[in-house]
Chains A and B, each alone.
Chain A
Amino acid sequence: MEVIYALWLRQVRRYTRSGSRIIGTLGQPLLLMLALGYGIGAIYQKAGEGDYLQFLVPGIITQTVLLSAVFWGIIILQDKRFGFLSELLVAPVSRIRILLGSTLGGTTISVAQGLIIFGLSLIFGFEPSNWLLVGPAFLVLVLMSMALSSFGAGVASMVDDFQGFQSINNLLILPLFFLSSALYPLDTVPAALKVVTTLNPVTYMVDALRNLLTGVSHFPLTTDLAVMTITFVACVVFAVNRFNRIQM
């Protein structure tokens, strides 16, 4: 137990000590929120769809967690490239515990980032439809963070260099974000796009968060939660499997 706590603490310390990392992972979502929220918001309202910021914020929180998962993967990759992972792998500790401790650290960081963006969105005029549902929304955020941190850890275990990781990032994370319901409602999109977004697990994460925070959603909450749970299990299995295969 102490090992898991120590590895968790290591990640959290690294996060809180690196100002540039905090700003780096918050900058992009913040920019998207401002540019899209205010830029597209006016057109959205003209089209009779209501307040775009209300619609957008759950999507931006999800994007923050996605981005966090990527940064998370980079940290594991750094450990691999710059040797610290060797120190961990020759220690008399099972790999599962190493992965668990580190990934819980990653999850905590993602949740913190998501909460910061949520806090900032309140300043920009976002308002939850029901404050009582913010608690359950937080749990959704935690589940989402655990799934995506595991995913990031799994991907980082597979690749050996930053270039490889960058292309995976571009080929995987950006489509996962853009081809989800984060930025636009699914009712009005063309059929082909609808098929893709429906197959994307991130869609369900955004949808669950949107349901709890704004009361608007595309799928029933039970569907969202079922898909998220399956995604979570799949991500954990993927991460454990890949991490176990690392050879130094």
Chain B
Amino acid sequence: MRLQEINPSVKAGAVVIAIILLAFAFDPVTPLLVLLGSSAAACRFGGVSVKKWLLCLSPFLLIAIGYVWSAMLFGRVPSGAHAQILWSFGPLQVTAAGVSRGISLGLRVMSFAALSLLFVLTTSPSHFMFSLMQQCRFSPKIAYGILAGYRFLPLLKEELAVIRTAHRIRRMGVTGGWADQVKQLGRYAIPLLASAIRKAERTAMAMESKGFTGSRQRTFYLRLSVTAKDWLFLAAVVAFVLVSFYISGRLGQLSWYSGEL
């Protein structure tokens, strides 16, 4: 079985359910297990190379570190508990509870990211749109409208690069201060947006000239369906999260997020 073959809507649903389930837990072990599990699945069943996986995940490590850091310093101090102070600097105190909380938060971010990447790296954009239309009764007008805009991604990236060079030349090597740099961003954005909007109008016109009305009465050359293996995938994802809960519980680590509120 390959993850690419799973129906995109079901795959998206499974990932969202897993994330919502995970949001209830608040401990380091559950998200760690899910993080490891989805990494293994992506590399084993998704054909994603380990290098690419780590590369995509790495920005989240930075964010996670930020969470750890601030939870350690600004974490809510449990009232009445004997806070075990590990380290202090002036008014700042780092407690054992704070550290554990920070790590939980950080791993939570990482596990969400891993589940999401599992979807993103194994799903073709057009198949996802087809599936939304066919399985979720998503409006074709919106689905094709989205695809039409998405197509412009590489073009707009190139355009931005050209605009930046062009402006560099116009400015003749004169660089302004910080405020000017911010203004400069606006000077890039407006031409980029203006040309994108005009392209959008033309594209919409071209689509309508090919008889696209946005009506749901259309045929599909590529029919996507939901089969037993898709339900199996959904069940496997949910089961994995539940098993993680169980293991964490057995290790005495599991705590519920609602308790924190």
A binds B: no
